[in-house]
Amino acid sequence: IMTESFLAPKIVIINTRAANVHSVDKALRKVGANPVITSDPEELASADAAVLPGVGASDAVMTALNSLRLTDPVKQFAASGRPLLCICIGLQVLFNSSEEGDLPGLGLVQGSVKLIPPGMKDKLGNKMKVPHIGWNEVHFTDGETERNPIFRGIPQGSHFYFVHSYRCVPDEQSEVAATANYGVEVCAAVVRRNVIGTQFHPEKSGSIGLQIYKNFFNLCFSTKNNENQPMAN
């Protein structure tokens, strides 16, 4: 008999010490996952899926990844095909470079991160503040059935919570999974094979954000159990 512990995926939340890992941990636990918060490269290597959350500045996250010797393990994890979910700054450090800092990013998604242009005006002529803070409507670039499983069942035009001053500009438009408008088009989500990034914070976005974590947990479950098919007796 297969035990549930065998089936349950090991999800690691990468603790760069520059992120609020606890709200991500809480959200994953709410949907039935049992994540491990760690800065240990070996724990990451043994995981079935990982989350790279972020708050703060890209150089702070890259400095932490470099000093914790996590930079190469994160790249190896991404190359392994296991699900990797990156949030906010976690998404931005996937890129080659950022106008916010001097350190190179992970280079897992080709492109750069640029400052949201200051001084833009909304439809009513009010000056739009940078950083972009608050709820914003998200538009998925693919229809329901073509989307990555993590975004299935999320209604088009759903609102998610954003906090950022910089926006990701992928070289490949096909890797943009969702957009939002903040005077300029903001890349709200990226998908590159098994690497998924959101500029918004699903863990701060109420029930619709929890749906993303639920979908991620289900994706981890199916990925793990496809790999570990029990042998027929």
Q: Give CA–CA dist 136/216, Å, rounded.
A: 22
Q: Give CA–CA dist 208/233, Å, rounded.
A: 42
Q: Give CA–CA dist 77/149, Å, rounded.
A: 19
Q: Which residues are catalytic?
A: 88, 201, 203
Distances (CA, A) of 229 to 6, 10, 178: 11, 16, 33
Tokens 């190896």, located at residue: 76
| Residue count of the chain | 233
Please answer whether residues 93 and 62 qualify as being in contact, where contact means their C-beta atoms are separated by less than 8 angstroms. yes
